Amino acid sequence: MSLDTTHGHPAMDYAEHTRTYHGFLLVTKLLIAFCVVLLLGMAYFLV
């Protein structure tokens, strides 16, 4: 992802913001995968 930070606020830490956002996306993807596996397991073992 390309981000133009030339006109941004000087106090904003864009590198940290980007790192946090990528971490958030990773955790979100992992939680969605876990929910899918959990639901498939419940469908197989409980029905």
Digit-by-digit pLDDT tens for the chain (47 residues) are 677 777 778 888 888 999 999 999 999 999 999 999 999 999 999 99
Q: Which residue shows structure tokens 């133009």?
A: 4
Provide φ and ψ at 6, rounded to 5°: -70, -30
C-alpha 29/C-alpha 20 separation (Å) is: 14
Token code pair at residue 25: 């996306």
pLDDT for 30: 98
pLDDT for 14: 87
Amino acid at 11: A
Q: Under DSSP, is residue 2 helix (H, G, I), strand (E, B) or coil?
A: coil
pLDDT for 13: 87
Distances in whole angstroms, Cα of residue 28 to Cα of each of 2, 34, 47: 22, 10, 28
